[in-house]
């Protein structure tokens, strides 16, 4: 069985490990998921018994595979520091020895119960712990970004550091639109005026007040793909486990893809940032990034280009003058 395992993955296992089985596991859109079962010597020297351990391995074969694997490893590592009970322990990431253009990410295996979901408050408390405990840990200078490139699907995020949330978001929004058009084709209306006007007026109007007029926000780690497929109960510990970390330093209130009761539970624990009157429109703004990237990633979401454009027009009509300091 060891002969089936790439040497790079083999070296990431504890010394003396024997591979018992390798099997397909999970559904991943951009990689191959594997469950690896092993037997290894006990870490206690006086104990001669061997211990069975299981690992989850994600093998990526796309372009920029190594960046994707390392981005997930660093993201997972950050989450595990602040929510160790609710995330799996990352172990290794790197290129495959047999094909260096492919890469792997390995973490400990948890036994999920896909039929059981956390309550709104259970999930909200995990997210609050992640957000509160990681504040000011992202960057010593309080900047927005991340040390490595992370991905939404296979779409890279430009995580180079910025001093403001508005700057980071504007840059990434433009890149997301560019990605969608590279897949679905150009959009004359978007290219001519809509995108430029939106970035010049609406984004500053909704995000600049968060860091001006005596207000401040601090970056923290946020899992940007919290949908029900990425949160399961662990059968052994009986606590919710969060998977597929794609970290991004932002702040409160991305749209997590759960029902309204889940968002409300989070707001009850982490009230909206000031100005609170802008909260709903900020949520709509954040959702647009998810929608436009999804329009490029999946054919059945291609129609979301039109949805995003209508939302952009709605907000432009609501804020025709852009940001004006009060």
Q: Which residue has the higher pLDDT, 151 or 28?
A: 151
User: Which is it for the CA torsion 318, 179, 200, 286, positive or negative?
Assistant: positive
Q: Is residue 313 part of a domain?
A: yes
Block residue for tokens 């919710």? 240
Question: Does residue 67 share a domain with residue 156?
Answer: no
Residue 29 above 50 pLDDT?
Answer: yes
Query: Would you state the pLDDT for residue 326?
Result: 67
Q: Which residue has the higher pLDDT, 69 or 255?
A: 69
Given pLDDT bands bounded at 50, 70 and 90, which one contains residue 7? very high
Question: Does residue 43 share a domain with residue 72?
Answer: yes
Query: Would you state the pLDDT for residue 290?
Result: 92
Q: Is residue 103 part of a domain?
A: yes
Task: Indicate the angle between helix axes 120-134 and 260-269, nearest 10 degrees.
Answer: 40
Q: Which residue has the higher pLDDT, 49 or 164?
A: 164
Query: Would you state the pLDDT for residue 175?
Result: 98
| 130 neighbors 83 (Cβ within 8 angstroms) | yes
Residue 56 above 50 pLDDT?
Answer: yes
Residue 254 above 70 pLDDT?
Answer: no
- CA separation, residue 261 to residues 21, 122, 151, 264, 279 (Å): 41, 12, 28, 5, 16
Query: Would you state the pLDDT for residue 46?
Result: 62
Q: Which residues contact 118 (CB under 8 A, 6 or more apart)?
A: 126, 231, 233, 240
Question: Does residue 289 share a domain with residue 262?
Answer: yes
- CA dist 67 and 266 (Å) reads 32
What would the mean pLDDT of 67-71 be, rounded to a whole number? 96
- CA dist 2 and 202 (Å) reads 56
Question: Does residue 155 share a domain with residue 98?
Answer: no
Question: Does residue 147 share a domain with residue 11?
Answer: no
Lowest mean pLDDT among 87-101, 105-119, 143-157: 105-119
Share of the chain above pLDDT 70, in %: 91
Question: Does residue 135 share a domain with residue 239?
Answer: yes
Residue 277: count of CB within 10 angstroms of its CB: 9
Question: Does residue 137 share a domain with residue 256?
Answer: yes
Total domains present in the chain = 2
Boundary (domain end) residue, out of 109, 136, 158: 109
Q: Is residue 323 part of a domain?
A: no
Query: Would you state the pLDDT for residue 245?
Result: 61
Q: Is residue 115 part of a domain?
A: no
What would the mean pLDDT of 199-218 be, rounded to a whole number? 96
| 250 neighbors 144 (Cβ within 8 angstroms) | yes
Q: Exposed, middle or buried, 76 (CB in 10 Å: 0-12/13-18/19+)?
A: buried
Q: Is residue 206 part of a domain?
A: yes
- CA dist 69 and 199 (Å) reads 32
Query: Would you state the pLDDT for residue 94?
Result: 98
Q: Is residue 39 part of a domain?
A: yes
Given pLDDT bands bounded at 50, 70 and 90, which one contains residue 248? very low
Query: Would you state the pLDDT for residue 25?
Result: 83
Boundary (domain end) residue, out of 60, 77, 109: 109
Given pLDDT bands bounded at 50, 70 and 90, which one contains residue 207? very high
DSSP state of 236: T
Lowest mean pLDDT among 26-30, 81-85, 167-171, 244-248: 244-248
Give the CA angle between residues 165, 169, 170 to the nearest 5°.
115
What would the mean pLDDT of 246-273 be, rounded to a whole number? 69
Share of the chain above pLDDT 90, in %: 64
Query: Would you state the pLDDT for residue 142?
Result: 86
Question: Does residue 260 share a domain with residue 174?
Answer: yes
Mean pLDDT taken over the chain: 89
**Residue 176 structural domain:** 120-318
What would the mean pLDDT of 276-302 be, rounded to a whole number? 95
Query: Would you state the pLDDT for residue 252?
Result: 40
Question: Does residue 87 share a domain with residue 64?
Answer: yes
Residue 14: count of CB within 10 angstroms of its CB: 12
| 58 neighbors 69 (Cβ within 8 angstroms) | yes
What tokens were used for 241? 């486990």
Q: Domain of 102: which CATH number?
A: 3.30.200
Question: Does residue 7 share a domain with residue 85?
Answer: yes
Boundary (domain end) residue, out of 76, 109, 142: 109
* Helix (DSSP H) and strand (DSSP E) numbers for the chain: 10, 12
What tokens were used for 12? 């990431």
Query: Would you state the pLDDT for residue 97?
Result: 97
What are the tens digits of pLDDT across the range 119-144? 889 999 999 999 888 887 777 788 99
Block residue for tokens 């712990």? 129
Tell me the longest C-alpha to C-alpha distance in the chain.
74
Residue 301 above 50 pLDDT?
Answer: yes
| 90 neighbors 105 (Cβ within 8 angstroms) | yes
Q: Is residue 186 part of a domain?
A: yes
Q: Domain of 289: which CATH number?
A: 3.90.1200.10
């Amino acid at each position: 069985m060891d002969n089936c395992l790439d040497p790079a993955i083999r070296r990431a296992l504890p010394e003396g490990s024997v591979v018992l089985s390798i099997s397909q596991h999970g559904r991943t859109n951009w990689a191959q998921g594997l469950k690896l079962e092993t037997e290894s010597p006990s870490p206690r020297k006086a104990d001669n018994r061997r211990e069975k351990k299981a690992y989850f391995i994600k093998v990526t074969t796309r372009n920029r595979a190594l960046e994707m694997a390392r981005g997930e490893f660093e993201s997972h590592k950050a989450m595990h520091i602040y929510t160790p009970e609710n995330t799996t322990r990352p172990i290794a990431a790197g290129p495959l020895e047999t094909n260096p253009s492919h890469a792997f990410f390995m973490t400990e295996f948890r036994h999920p119960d896909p039929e059981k979901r956390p309550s709104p408050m259970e999930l909200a408390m995990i997210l609050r712990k992640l957000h509160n405990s990681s504040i000011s840990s992202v960057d010593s200078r309080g900047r927005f970004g991340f040390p490595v490139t992370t991905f939404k699907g296979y779409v890279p995020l430009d995580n180079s550091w910025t001093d403001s949330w508005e700057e980071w978001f504007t840059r990434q929004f433009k890149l997301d639109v560019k990605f969608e058009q590279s897949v679905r084709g150009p959009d004359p209306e978007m290219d001519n005026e809509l995108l430029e006007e939106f970035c010049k007026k609406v984004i500053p109007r909704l995000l600049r007040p968060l860091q001006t007029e005596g207000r401040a926000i601090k970056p923290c780690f946020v899992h940007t793909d919290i949908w029900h497929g990425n949160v399961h109960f662990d059968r052994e510990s009986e606590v919710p486990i969060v998977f597929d970390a794609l970290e991004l330093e932002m702040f409160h209130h991305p749209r997590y893809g759960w029902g309204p009761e889940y968002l409300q539970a989070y707001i009850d624990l982490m009230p909206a940032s000031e100005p609170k009157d802008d909260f709903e429109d900020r949520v709509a703004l954040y959702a647009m990034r998810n929608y436009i990237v999804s329009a490029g990633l999946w054919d059945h979401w291609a129609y979301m280009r039109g949805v995003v454009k209508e939302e952009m027009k709605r907000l432009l009509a609501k804020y025709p003058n852009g940001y004006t300091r009060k």
